[in-house]
């Protein structure tokens, strides 16, 4: 199973080629902006270095969010275009799923984990897990709402530092945000989709309608 995985949903841009569960080649670059210009050239570099022919791909995996509105759209648009051109199947993976997979992949304990992601607003994207199993649907929550159950969970994600500043000490699991290789690995456990993956938006985009 030859998989191409891409992620541009948060403050990085990454692409990876996998042969089964083996990560053949991956590029990860930290960036808050510029994913639209970098993702396709990065994908071409990864395919070249992995010696993968575009037509040999069996699967394309992509993050669906939540995260940067533009970053999510860039990743999904690129993945859908490549799937259409190559005729291969697609799998959409939420950032929460990829992060939970990264935390619990080699952990047999069913810890209660609250994943908190940056919204660049006053609130947080949140989803709680018991081991690899989600306990609830993802949502946007305020710090005060999270504080009510904070003592029952460990926390991970790119917004844990801001959360701890707002509600006080919390139990933090030190783990980096998932990259394309994590997305590719978890995609092997998911069913391929009919059609294209839908973006996971928990907020409306910050846009202003021009009225003249």
Give the burial string for 28-58 (b: 16+ CB within 10 Å, else e): beeeeeebbebbbebbeebbeebebeeeebe
* Residue 12 · residue 183 · CB < 8 Å: no
pLDDT band at residue 208 using 50, 70 and 90 as cut-offs = very low
Which residues, 6 or more positions from 21, have their beta carbon under 8 angstroms from its beta carbon? Answer: 185, 188
Let me know the angle formed at the C-alpha of 22 by 102 and 198, rounded to the nearest 5 degrees.
55
Rounded Cα distance, 198 and 188, in Å = 18
* Residue 63 · residue 94 · CB < 8 Å: yes
For 73-95, how does the pLDDT look when each residue is reduced to its tens digit (9 = 90+)?
999 999 999 999 888 999 999 99
For 30-77, how does the pLDDT look when each residue is reduced to its tens digit (9 = 90+)?
998 899 999 999 999 999 999 999 889 999 999 999 999 999 999 999
Domains by residue range for the chain, with CATH: 2-95+177-187 (3.30.420.40), 98-172 (3.30.420.40)
For 101-154, how does the pLDDT look when each residue is reduced to its tens digit (9 = 90+)?
999 987 766 789 999 999 999 999 999 999 889 999 999 999 999 999 999 999
Least confident of 5-9, 43-47, 193-197, 204-208: 204-208
Q: For 85-130, list the strands marked E by DSSP.
A: 89-93, 112-118, 124-130
* Residue 137 · residue 102 · CB < 8 Å: no
For 4-19, how does the pLDDT look when each residue is reduced to its tens digit (9 = 90+)?
999 999 999 999 999 9
Rounded Cα distance, 16 and 178, in Å = 12
């Amino acid at each position: 199973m030859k998989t191409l995985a891409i992620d541009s949903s948060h403050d990085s841009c990454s692409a990876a080629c996998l042969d089964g569960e083996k990560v053949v080649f991956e590029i990860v670059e930290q960036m808050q902006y510029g994913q639209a210009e970098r993702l396709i050239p990065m994908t071409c570099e990864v395919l070249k270095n992995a010696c993968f022919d575009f037509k040999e791909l069996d699967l394309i995996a992509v993050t669906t969010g939540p995260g940067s509105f533009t970053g999510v759209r860039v990743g999904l648009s690129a993945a859908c275009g490549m799937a259409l051109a190559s005729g291969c199947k697609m799998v959409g993976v939420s950032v929460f799923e990829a992060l939970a997979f990264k935390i619990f992949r080699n952990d047999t304990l069913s810890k209660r984990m609250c994943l908190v992601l940056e919204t660049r607003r006053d609130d947080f994207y949140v989803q709680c897990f018991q081991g690899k199993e989600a306990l609830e649907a993802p949502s946007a929550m305020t710090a005060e709402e999270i504080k009510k159950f904070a003592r029952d969970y460990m926390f991970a994600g790119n917004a844990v530092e801001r959360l701890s500043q707002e509600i006080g000490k919390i139990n933090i699991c030190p783990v980096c945000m998932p990259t394309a290789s994590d997305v590719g690995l978890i995609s092997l456990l998911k069913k391929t989709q009919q059609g294209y993956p839908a973006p996971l938006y928990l907020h409306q985009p910050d846009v202003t309608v021009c009225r003249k």
